[in-house]
Homo-oligomer: A and B are copies of this chain.
């Protein structure tokens, strides 16, 4: 071999060596860029040990603080979250970090840059389905949580059946889930959840944020005991602004990360209180951000509800109360600002015995209003304490029309 050939071959070997090193460096850099995907190992048992490496130390401290008796039970719980947008994504994030056993996420929307004014999603996820984007993030935050995602609209007949099946068989042990959380932004999806939960006798919680971004609410719904979503028009926080500005067609709804995080916080707080049995589970908490006002309310099921399963659950509930002679614990938390005796707008409160509601007295507390209430103007004109009857079925029909 000639010297020049030897030299060329040696040089080529040097170049190959250099390229190999570059490749190794590049592969390491890629791994570093992806390292988030591997860092947190699964943890078999929740520990209360106070060390920086324990992701559960601050939650297990709730036991030592006397707040929760048995925090670990969160790992047995399965929660369905319908809608992982501005509220639902934070709800799923909170439940993941709290160490819930299993989350079942439903949504059919994609992440867009227009969602970036709310927490959770990031610009690089644009175009991904929300359920997949949420799962991808959450599974690395807490690999102990089991995720099941459904990129589908639950309001079609086929998907409704799938949704009902997941309520019935979605839990970690293949049984009924523990709770359904509604974080959707439209009437039809809420009604679908309502129908399914009435059928399945499934306790659920509703959440909502107004189109002007400055009010919201959460609501606890136990079929047969509390008003379902078909019992009466949705209760929303009254805003002292011209409501007509909120309902113009084709107007893009406003949203704020603040209001959505507060509503998500209330919803998951109520979820934790319900699942882990501490504090008082709230029936309804409203939030008016403009003046930091938090109306509360509690609404009983409507015996004339359109939903036959709601009526069936009411019958069962009455029978259960009567047969078991259970003295039910008072679940009502009275509205913050009002004295019910003096309040023309007071709604009937939940009694300790089986409920008996008169439709003609169905009104709401100060700071709240039914989403649609044609009788209100009549009220305004006559300042009498006796109230005109509200035709609920007509109300609901109009509401449905409005939300088409």
Q: Does A65 contact B (CB under 8 A)?
A: yes
State in angstroms the CA–CA spacing of A228 and B26 once bound together: 55
Chain B residue nearest in CB terms to A137: B122
State in angstroms the CA–CA spacing of A140 and B116 once bound together: 11
State in angstroms the CA–CA spacing of A27 and B53 once bound together: 32
Chain A 221-242 interface mask (CB, 8 Å, partner B; 1/0): 0000000000000000000011
State in angstroms the CA–CA spacing of A310 and B357 once bound together: 57
Chain B nearest Cβ from A238, distance in angstroms: 14
In the complex the two chains form, is B19's CB within 8 Å of A58's CB? no
In the complex the two chains form, is A55's CB within 8 Å of B282's CB? no
Q: Which residues of B contact A67 (CB under 8 A)?
A: 212-214, 241, 254
State in angstroms the CA–CA spacing of A196 and B39 once bound together: 40
The contact of A40 among B98, B123, B292, by CB within 8 Å, is: B123
Q: Does A356 contact B (CB under 8 A)?
A: no
| A22-B23, A292-B294 as given contacts; A119 in contact with B94, CB under 8 Å | yes
Chain B nearest Cβ from A163, distance in angstroms: 26
The contact of A266 among B262, B291, B337, by CB within 8 Å, is: B262
The contact of A262 among B29, B245, B265, by CB within 8 Å, is: B265
Chain A 44-73 interface mask (CB, 8 Å, partner B; 1/0): 000000111111111101101111000000
Size range of the chain A interface in the assembly: 35 or more
Q: Does A20 contact B (CB under 8 A)?
A: yes
Q: Which residues of B contact A336 (CB under 8 A)?
A: 293-294, 336-337
| A65-B245, A119-B90 as given contacts; A55 in contact with B114, CB under 8 Å | yes
In the complex the two chains form, is B116's CB within 8 Å of A141's CB? yes
State in angstroms the CA–CA spacing of A269 and B290 once bound together: 9
| A9-B8, A336-B337 as given contacts; A55 in contact with B246, CB under 8 Å | no
| 17 CB < 8 A contacts A-B | A8-B9, A36-B125, A58-B118, A59-B255, A66-B241, A94-B119, A97-B118, A98-B117, A99-B117, A122-B141, A214-B279, A261-B261, A261-B265, A269-B289, A273-B289, A279-B289, A280-B291
Binding site for B on A (CB under 8 A): 1-2, 4-5, 8-9, 12-13, 15-16, 19-20, 22-23, 26-27, 29-30, 33-37, 39-40, 50-59, 61-62, 64-67, 90, 93-94, 97-99, 112-114, 116-119, 122-126, 137, 140-142, 211-214, 241-242, 245-246, 251-259, 261-262, 264-266, 268-270, 272-273, 278-280, 282, 285, 289-294, 296, 333, 336-337
